[in-house]
Structure 1
Amino acid sequence: MIRIQTPPVSVPVRGSEGTALLCGPPQCEQHPAFQRDPRVSKTLTFSRDGTLFGWCNGQSVSVVRSSDGSVVSTFDLPKTTLLEFSPLGSILVTWQPYTKTQDSPQGEANLQLWDVQSGQLLKALYQKKVDSWCPSWSEDEKISVRSVNNELHFYENNDYNSIANKLHMQKVSDFALSPGGQPSKVAVYVPGSKGAPSFVRLYQYPVLGGPTAALANKSFFKADKVSLQWNRKASAVLVTASTEVDQTGASYYGEQTLHYLAVNGETAVVQLAKNGPIYDVAWSPSSTEFCVVYGFMPAKATVYNLKCDPVFDFGTGPRNAAYYSPQGHILVLAGFGNLQGQMEVWDMKKYKQVSKPQAPDATYFSWCPDGEHVVTATCSPRLRVSNGYKIWHYTGSVLHKWDAAAGSELWEVRWQPFPEGSFPERPIKYQAAPSGLGSTQAPPTQAYRPPALRHLPATASAKLHEEEPPQDLRRGPAGEKSLSKAALKNQRKREAKKAAKQEGKPEPEPEPEPVSTPVSNSQLETSSGDPETDKKIKNLKKKLKAIEELKEQQASGKVLQKNQLEKMQKEEQLLKELQQLQIGQ
C-alpha cells in the first residue's frame, strides 16, 4: 500500500494572550519556527497558497514565511485592523478605520497597497466603509476591481495609477468577481427604486457597456440586499435576495429568495420545498451542484443540480449551515448559534450519513485543506464563556482540544490554506478514527412533553413536528423516482408492525382513517384497481394541471422562468404517458 505524503498544516490561534502558530493535525504543537507573539493581535491572514503569514500586533504588521518563520517584510502600521494578500502574494492590502483630524480635515487615505517583497507603498486610497474594503483580483492578478461611489473601477496588471475601465451603472451596491483566470467575469447588483425591480447582471471583462453586453440578467422584487456566490468554475452565480422585514409577519428573519444565473444566459428561481428563511447556500467544489439549508425549524436541506432540480433531500433537522469538504466528497450540515451544535457528516458519493458529532456553543467551523479534519471553536465576542477549540476527524473523533484559561479569550482560529490539488481525495471511512479524547455523538432528540403528560407512556402522536426522512430524488435504474413521503410513512408502519410481531408485542393500533367524502361516478370510473397505477395517473394529472396554469400565466403576459418553460415542454410526453396508463386499465 502506497502512503500518500501530504504537507503539514499550520493552525494560527489569536486571542487575548497573543498569537501562536501551531502544527497539526491530528496533534497540535507549537510551530518550531514561529515564536508566540505575546502582544494582542488585531488581525491575521495567509496568502492564497499559504506560503506567507501576516499579522498586526498593535505596533507593526509583520509578514513571514510559513515554512521557516523567516521575516519577509515589516510595516509600521499600528492601527491596522484588516489584512489581505493578493492571489499571487505579491501585494499586501492593509486597512484601518477612516478618521479626520484638525491637521487633515479630509482624512487620511486608510487603504494601502504594499509590495510584499520590497515593502514599498504602491498606492494609498480612501475606503470609508468596511464592507467590500479589499479590492478583488482575478487569480492571475491581471485584473482587479473595487467599488467607488456606486461604480466599479477596474485596474490591469496591478497598475493603480490609472483606471483601465469603469462600469457606469446607477447605484451598483454589490459585486463579485469570478474566481480563476481569464476571461474574468463580474456579477453586479443594483437595488430597485421607485417601483422598479432590483437586478443582477453578469458581464465579461472588458465588455461592460451597452444593452447587449450582459451575459445574463435577472430582475426581482423584495430585495434589500443580496449575497453573490460564484461556483469554482465561474460558470454560474447563486443570488440570495433578502428583505429585512417579512411583510406577512411569518418570519423574524425577513424574506429570502434564491436565484440562479449562468454565464450562458440561463436564469431560474430555485424552488424550495418548505416555507421559511434561507439559512445557508453552499456550492460544491465540483461546481455541478449546490446545497441549500432552508425552512422553519426543523429546517430542510436539499442538493440541487445546475438545472435547479432537487437531487437529494436530507429531510428535516436542527441545522442552519452547510460545509462541503475542499474535495467535495463530504458535506457537513450543522446547527450552530442558537442551536445545539449538532453536525451531520454525509458521504456525497453514496448519500449516506457517516457520523453525527455534536459541538455545543460552537461559533466557528472550518474544513482542513486535507478533507480529513475539521475545527470547531467558541470565540469572543460572540460568546465570552467556554472559549476554546476542538480539532476533529470527520468520523466524529475529537483529536485535540484546547480551552482558554480563566479570564482569557479566544478570538480566532483558522487553517493554513493550500493550492488546489495539494491534498488528494481519500476513501471515506465510516469507523471512528482512534482518539484518546473519544467521540461526541449527538444524543437522540426528544419531543417536548407537557408536565401533565410526562407520567404517561410516550406515543408517536406526541411529536411536536412531523420529521421528514432523507429522500433520494434522483431517478433510479428503472426510471422510477424514489418513494414519496406517503409511501415512506406506510413503509415505516409496516416495519413497526413486523417488528412488534417478532417481539411478541401487541400490534400498534392503526391510526383512525379520515372521514371519507362521497365519491362521484367519474372518480369511480378512473379507478383501475391497481393503487400504484391510480397514483401515477393522479400525479400526471396534477402535473398537467400545473402546466395549464403556466400557459394561462404566459398568455396573460407574465414572463416565465427557464425551469417553468422546461416544465411546459414536457406536456406532450405527459399526455402520452397518461393515455398509455388509461388504455391499460
Structure 2
Amino acid sequence: MGKKKEGERSPRNFDNNRFDRSESYGDEEPNFSDDEDFVDDITDEELLADYLISKPREEDSYEGIIVVDGVPQVGPERLEKLKGVIKKMYSKFGEIVNEYYPVDEKKNTKGFIFLEYKHPSEAAEAVSVTNNYKLDKQHTFLVNHYSDFEKYMNIPDEWTPPEPQEYKDQGNLHYYLLDPDAYDQYCVICGGGNNVQIWQNSAPEPNVVEERPNWSETYVRWSPLGTYMATFHARGVALWGGPEFKQIMRFSHTGVQLIDFSPCEKYLVTYSPDGPSDQRRVIIWDARTGAEKRSFSLDGVSVWPIFRWSPDDKYFARLGQDILSVYETPSFGLLDKRSIKIPGIRDFAWSPTDNILVYWVAEDKDVPARVCLLEIPSRQEVRANNLFNVADCKIHWQKSGDYLCVKVDRYSKVKKEKNDVKYSDIKNGGAGHFLGMYYNFEIFHMREKLIPVDSVEIKEPIQAFAWEPIGSKFAIIHGDQHNINVSFYGVNQGQPPSLLKKFEKRQCNHLFWSPMGQFIVLAGLRSMHGSLEFVDTNEFVVMNSGEHYTASDVEWDPTGRYIVTGVSFWKQKVDNGFWLWSFQGKKLKKHNIDGFCQLMWRPRPPTLLSIKQQKEIKKNLKKYTPQFESKDRMRSSKASKELVEKRCQLMKAFNEYRQKNIDAWNAQKKRRLELRNNVDTDELESDTKNVEEEEVEFLVKEDHTIIDE
C-alpha cells in the first residue's frame, strides 16, 4: 500500500471501535450533545431490532422456576441417567424450558437442581404434587418455588399481629327455612333467558320474592343445600343469598360455562374452555372466602363434572388414562402423594353417605371385567365382582347408600342356521353366531356382612332405571317402542330382589321419584307428547293420568308435595310455560310464559329429625290434619274476602266515573242548544225511544177457489 497523503483521514478501527482523534478532529474536543430543540424521531425498534428480542418482559419472572432439594448426589458418569429420571417425572406437569444441575469441584451434583417451566401454573402444580415425594428409601424431594427463598428471607424477625378486619354480616342465608307455613321457593328463567325471578309457592297464589332483568348472562344454579344461587357472567361467577339476595361472593374466571358445588357447599369448581389447554381451565375455590385453592389444566376429552366429591367434602377424585387420582382437602394434594394405577378403568362414583367409591374396569382378552369397591383413605378393596361378556356398565347409588346397582350391558351369542349366516355374523361372533344383548342389574347390599351381590336379568332394551330416594325399591322401563313396560322391584335385607309389580304397555321414557319416596311419575317426554301417570308404589295404584303436550322437563319440589312440568324455550320456541300438579296428579295451575326457559326448586338441607321421629310423625299424621284443614279454610276465606273487596272497589270506581261523565253531560247542555238553534235534540232522542209501536197490515196475495155444489 502507498503512504498516506497529508490531511487524509484515518480509517475506523472496527476491532476496538476507536478513532484517531488527533488526525480526525485535531486538537479540538468533539461535542456529541444534541441541540435544545432537537427531536429524535427514530424508534428503538429501527435501531436495535435484534437486541430488543432478548429484552426482559413484564411476564418474565421467577414464578416458573422451582428448586428440587433431596436429589441424589452423583458423578459425571451417572448424571445423564439422573437427568432422564428427573425429566420423565417433571415433564408431565408441563414443558421444561431450562434446567440446571449445580456441581462441586469434583463434578459431583450438590443434591439440588433448578427447573424452569414455560408457565407458572405448571410450576405450581409440580411443587404441589412432588413436594415430599419419596424417590427411594434414602431420598425424599423437598420442592419450592425459587421466589419463595426471597420471600422467606424478607420475613421480619419480630411478628406483628394482623389488623382485625371489619365483620360483614351477610344476613340469615337460611331465612327461607323459617317460614311458618313451610312454603318453598323456586327460580324461573324467562324472557328467553334475559329475566330471572324468585317466587314463593304460597297459597292460594304464589308471590314474587325477587325479580331482576339480565341477572345472569346464561343460566342460574342453586347450591346443593339451597344456601346460594349462582349466576354466570363474562368475567366469572357470582353467589347471591339472604332475604334480599345480595351478592355474597364472586369468582373471577373469564368465560366460565360450567360450575359444580361440593356436597357440603365448602368448595366451588368452575370450568372455562377459553384459552390454550396448558392454562388454567378448571379452578377450585373456597365458596365462603373466595380464595382460589387449586387450578388444573385439561388434557384430552373430559366429562363434566371432572371432579367427583366424597359426601363430607374431604376428598375429590378425577378419572385419567388408566389412573384414578384422589385428592384430599384442605391441602388439595394427591392422597398419599400418588395416584391409583388401574389399567382399563372406565368410570367411578362415590357413595352418597360413606367415603367409599366404586369403579369398573373393562374386559381385556381373557381377563374379565371387574366392579370394585374401594375404601378411602386406606385404599382397601372391600368388595370385587368379576363380570364376563361386558359391553358397558352404569353405576347407580341409592340415595341413603344402603344399596348399589351396577347396570351391566352384556353380549350374548345366539345360534343361527347355516343358510342365514352373513359376513357380519362371522365378523362379530364366528360362523353360525351373532352378538345379541341382554342386561343384568347387579345389586350390592352395602350394609350387610361381606356385601353380598344379587342379580336381576332382563333381556329387553332398557329405557330408564331409578332408585326410590327413601326406601328400598327401584323401577325399570324396558321394552321396545311398541311394547314399553315398567317393572318395580323390592330389595330386602338378606333376600334377593323380588318383582313387586309390572305395568304393561305404558307411554313413558322417564322415571321421576318423589324426594320422599313412595310416589313416582311415569313420564313420556318430548317424542311421547308429555303423557304422565302418577303412581302410588305402596299399593301400586295409578292415582291419576294427565298430559302436558310436548313437555320437556319434570321437577319435584323438595318436600314431595308438588311437581312441575314445563316446555322450555331452550328446546322449542312455542307453547312455553309450566304447569303445577299435586303429588296425586291434580292439575293446580297453568302458567303460560313467553320465553320460559327453566324452573328450579330451591333445595332444602337434610332434616334434623331422626328416622324414629319421622316415623312417629307419619304415624300420628291424623292428629295434625285438623290444624292443616283449619289453615286451608282461613286461606280460602281470606281469598274470598279479598276477592269481594276487590270487586266492590271496582264497582265503586265505575260508579264514580259514570257520575262524573253524567255531570259533564248536563253542564254542556246549554252549549248544545246554542249550537243546534235551540232545538233540544236530547228530548227528540228520548221521544223516539218512547214512540209506541204501530201495526200495519197489507195484502200480500189473493186466491180464488171455486167450490162445486
Class of the TM-score when normalised by the shorter of the 2 chains: 0.5 to 0.7
Q: Helix, strand or coil: the match of 1:322?
A: strand
1:277 maps to which residue? 461
2:490 maps to which residue? 305
TM superposition shift of 1:37 = 3.6
Q: More deviation in 151-160 or 279-288?
A: 151-160
Tell me if the contact between 2:489 and 2:501 (Cα under 8 Å) persists in the aligned partners.
yes
Matches of 1:200 and 1:338, distance apart in 2: 35
TM superposition shift of 1:78 = 4.0
Gaps of 5+ in 2: 1-178, 414-423, 429-435, 626-631, 637-709
The residue identity in structure 2 corresponding to 1:216 is A
- The count of corresponding residues between Structure 1 and Structure 2 is 411
TM superposition shift of 1:144 = 2.0
Matches of 1:143 and 1:66, distance apart in 2: 29
The residue identity in structure 2 corresponding to 1:173 is R
Q: More deviation in 39-48 or 275-284?
A: 39-48
Larger radius of gyration: 2
TM-score, normalised relative to structure 1: 0.63
TM superposition shift of 1:16 = 2.4
Tell me if the contact between 2:534 and 2:545 (Cα under 8 Å) persists in the aligned partners.
yes
Matches of 1:54 and 1:143, distance apart in 2: 23
1:403 maps to which residue? 592
Matches of 1:20 and 1:255, distance apart in 2: 46
TM superposition shift of 1:207 = 3.8
Instruction: Describe the shift of the 1:389–1:365 C-alpha distance in structure 2 as closer, same or farther (beyond 3 A).
Output: same
Residue 116 (str. 1) matches residue 275 (str. 2): no
RMSD: 3.5
1:379-418 equivalences under 5 Å are 379-405=568-594, 408=595, 410-418=596-604
Tell me if the contact between 2:442 and 2:456 (Cα under 8 Å) persists in the aligned partners.
yes
Matches of 1:66 and 1:320, distance apart in 2: 39
Residue 92 (str. 1) matches residue 276 (str. 2): no
Tell me if the contact between 1:365 and 1:376 (Cα under 8 Å) persists in the aligned partners.
yes
2:553 maps to which residue? 364
Matches of 2:461 and 2:357, distance apart in 1: 27
1:265 maps to which residue? 451
Q: Helix, strand or coil: the match of 2:268?
A: strand
The C-alpha deviation readout for 1:46-68, integer Å capped at 9, x for no partner, is 22210111120334311011543
Residue 150 (str. 1) matches residue 335 (str. 2): no
The residue identity in structure 1 corresponding to 2:566 is A
Q: Helix, strand or coil: the match of 1:316?
A: coil
The residue identity in structure 1 corresponding to 2:441 is L
Residue 199 (str. 1) matches residue 370 (str. 2): yes
TM superposition shift of 1:281 = 0.9
The residue identity in structure 1 corresponding to 2:351 is S
2:163 maps to which residue? none
TM superposition shift of 1:29 = 5.2
Matches of 1:185 and 1:399, distance apart in 2: 42
1:138 maps to which residue? 310
Matches of 1:243 and 1:385, distance apart in 2: 41
The residue identity in structure 1 corresponding to 2:258 is L
The C-alpha deviation readout for 1:461-508, integer Å capped at 9, x for no partner, is xxxxxxxxxxxxxxxxxxxxxxxxxxxxxxxxxxxxxxxxxxxxxxxx
Tell me if the contact between 1:26 and 1:399 (Cα under 8 Å) persists in the aligned partners.
no
Tell me if the contact between 1:228 and 1:239 (Cα under 8 Å) persists in the aligned partners.
yes
TM superposition shift of 1:298 = 2.8
The residue identity in structure 1 corresponding to 2:325 is H
TM superposition shift of 1:355 = 0.9
The residue identity in structure 1 corresponding to 2:468 is S
Tell me if the contact between 2:201 and 2:207 (Cα under 8 Å) persists in the aligned partners.
no
Tell me if the contact between 2:357 and 2:375 (Cα under 8 Å) persists in the aligned partners.
yes
Q: Helix, strand or coil: the match of 1:216?
A: strand
**Which of 289, 293, 308 does residue 477 from structure 2 map onto?**
293
TM superposition shift of 1:404 = 4.2
Q: Helix, strand or coil: the match of 2:574?
A: coil
Percentage identity across aligned positions?
A: 20
Matches of 2:570 and 2:396, distance apart in 1: 27
Q: Helix, strand or coil: the match of 1:338?
A: helix
The residue identity in structure 2 corresponding to 1:109 is R
TM-score, normalised relative to structure 2: 0.53
Instruction: Describe the shift of the 1:198–1:362 C-alpha distance in structure 2 as closer, same or farther (beyond 3 A).
Output: farther
Say which structure, 1 or 2, has more relative contact order (CA 8 Å, 6+ apart): 1
